[in-house]
Amino acid sequence: MVSRANFKVIAFLFISFYSKGQDICQALPSNAVSGSFEISGNINSGCSPLQIDLVDNSGGINVKYEFYYNGQKPADLKKNGNDDLANVYFTSTNTRTYTILQYGEKNGKPMYACKNVTVFPNNKPKFSYSICSSALEIVIPQTPENNFDSYKINWGSGNPEVTILANQLPYSASKPVNYPSQIKVEGVYTTKSNVSCGATSTTTIQKLDPVNFPNGYNPPFDPNIDEIVNNGAKQLTLKIKGSEDGQGYNLNMRKLTGVYPSNAFMTNVIPGSLNITLPDSEQVYCFYLTRMSGCGSFEESSEVCNLIQETPKINPGNVSLQWSTYPNANRDYTFQPALHTFNKKIEIEKDINGTKTFVTLQGNVSNYLDQVECVANLKYRIKVTTEGLLWGYQYKNVSYAEWEYIDATKIIAPAISRLQASADDKNKIVLEFENRTTWNTPVTKYFVYEITNNVATLKDSVLTPGKLNFIDKDASAQTFCFKINYKDQCGILSELSPEACSIHLTQANNNNLKWTTANPFANNTLDQLLLESKIDLQDIFGNEIALPIGTYIYMPNYDIFTNKAFFRLKASSNSANLISYSNFIEVPLQYKLIFPNIFTPNSDGLNDEFYPLGSIDQIKEYKLKIYDRWGALLFETNNTNQKWSGKNKLGKDYSTGTYFATIEYLNEKMERIKISKPFYLLNDI
């Protein structure tokens, strides 16, 4: 249990958490009897901290006390309440009356008694003063702190003490003094029992002479704009220090590039926080205060200017900051003021998730490049501090720019541009990409999106750039389009890349070839388009034919093919050194046989046998016959693999001349076809 000697009631913490019912002090409960206690010395009021002792005269048992009774019901009173009656303290910063409740039992019934005690605050009065060469001005403002009933002012220097009543505030007066002079201002609370409270402020004032103040004067109420904060949208907040004379100061304003006009921007400006609206949010403005004191001295403050900070520019790995320039001198004097010095410090205030750091810059700079690994949850503001002497008076001003937040959700890294879509030799989609951006924050993942009807659907993610094989996508079925973006280690996403689409090749009417208009190289140009072909699936694509860029249909020459033709497109981006292939298609041809026009059975390894070319292995019921010019049958076979050597049955060469061949077969429609064609046999080469 806490000792009563250490028990204090703090007024601003005085909050009742009990439910209120009938006030026991106003009317006793029907079954209760009256108790009795006294406050030693019959005290009913006093100055904070007020210490009292209680005397129990009730004759009851289990006697307890509630020192700050606030109308609680009997059931809500603590059973283990206070029972120590010595050294009870009450403290308050405002005049307050407390109710002390005694409760217990007497003759088997509940017992209650109440007394009130009023506590007056004991704070010091708020006042200011101004120093003239042989006089002194004292000002007592009308403020919430000054809630005394009266004030006593002792000017010193033989001046009589003056009493000022509360209804005379605000008060301002000047009297001649001899320096150094000691002044005393006392606040007085007066009660019915004639108790007065109030602490006394005593101050010794020196004459403002450089001999007494080698480092400059620093009167506590000298006018100064301690701080200026740019709140954005033309709004500024100025924190002003100075005299509380009630008449206030003139606030003078100029553009940074201009001079102060003869008329003040605002008048009757009193110390404290002042919000003003600027004419132009894009202009820098400067301010200073002036006043003629009651004792005849002209007072003026140093100059302070607002700061305009531009929106930070996000670069890979750094943030670029820029702000308005700040003057290198105090005011627009055409001469150097006496006892004048000027020092300026520029700082970058950086806040990362609530943790603030400061960077002090050298020189009169207006830009800064902050190297940062991540820019998420980061904000900046510029701070300029100026201090020195003006007419021998010390000053210090701080100017803050508006906080500039960096919203990671609004930061977008640049898109990759080296992306190509292609088909492999099995007509499966292959996607290949590289990251050649200048965004040097490490990338943690790449995301692959398939684009259908301008809608991006996430299909895959990979840790590193490279080649992606989509075995589930048949390039011969349609065009497939893709985009890619990435996320860096700070959680920042890039833009989606330009679209890269596979070229889809198909056979149109009349055996024309046609293909889609898609660009397989994303942001790079398609510089060359070639049609490649082969006769057999096992062959290698070749026989390249250049096609004009911008054409999307072509009729190839089918005469070089006999049974089947295979085609694909080869697209190139020369500037990016990229190659993409379309799907390949198979074009089945009608059965076709071709006879050589000349035949040279001279055993030189070239054209030594006669046989038809073309769809020879596809036909049925094949019959080949060779005749001389007189119609004599020289050779006959039903075997498609048997060829005529140009020799008779004895192995002797037939002579040079014209011969005739006939072939009969069934085509793919089971139609019987008969072909007869002359050819020339040449034996003497």
pLDDT for 487: 92
For the stretch 116-146, pLDDT in tens is 998 887 778 888 898 888 899 999 998 887 8
| Residue with the two structure tokens 């620093």 | 218
User: What three-state secondary structure class fits 64?
Assistant: strand
**Separation between Cα atoms, residue 561 and residue 543, nearest integer Å:** 12
| Bond prior to 170 in cis (omega within 30° of 0) | yes
Q: Hey, which residues does 54 pair with through a beta bridge? A: 39
440 falls in which pLDDT band (50, 70, 90)? confident
3-state secondary structure 456-472: EEEEEEECCCEEEEEEE
Separation of alpha carbons 429 and 162, rounded Å = 99
Q: Is 199 helix (H, G, I), strand (E, B) or coil?
A: coil
With pLDDT > 90 as the criterion, what percentage of the chain qualifies? 49
Question: From the CB of residue 616, how many other CB atoms can be counted at a distance below 10 Å?
Answer: 20
**What pLDDT sits at residue 272?**
93
In the chain, % of residues over pLDDT 70: 92
28 or 510, which is more confident = 28
The runs of H, that is alpha helices, within 365-522 are: none
445 pLDDT higher than 90: yes
Contact 359, 387 (CB under 8 A): no
The amino acid at residue 561 is F
Report the range of poorest mean pLDDT among 233-237, 618-622, 672-676: 618-622
Mean pLDDT over 347-360 rounds to 91
Instruction: State pLDDT tens for residues 277-310.
Output: 999 999 999 999 999 998 888 999 999 999 999 9
Q: How far is CA 70 from CA 22, 35, 38, 67, 409, in A?
A: 11, 18, 20, 9, 53
CB 40 within 8 A of CB 46: no
Contact, 142 vs 123, CB < 8 A? Answer: no
What is the model's pLDDT at position 32? Answer: 93
Using one digit for the tens of pLDDT, what is the confidence trace for 316-327? Answer: 678 899 999 999
Closest CA to 176 of 136, 148, 212, 223: 136
Distances in Å between the Cα of 338 and the Cα atoms of 232, 300, 341 are 36, 14, 9
Is 85 a residue whose pLDDT tops 90?
no
Does the pTM surpass 0.75? The reply is no
- Distance, in Å, from the CA atom of 504 to the CA atom of 481, rounded to the nearest integer, reads 11
Query: pLDDT tens across 186-219, in order?
Result: 888 775 445 566 667 788 888 888 778 888 888 8
Tokens of 474: 């048949």
If you average pLDDT over every residue of the chain, what do you get?
Answer: 87
Rounded Cα distance between 647 and 521, Å, is 60
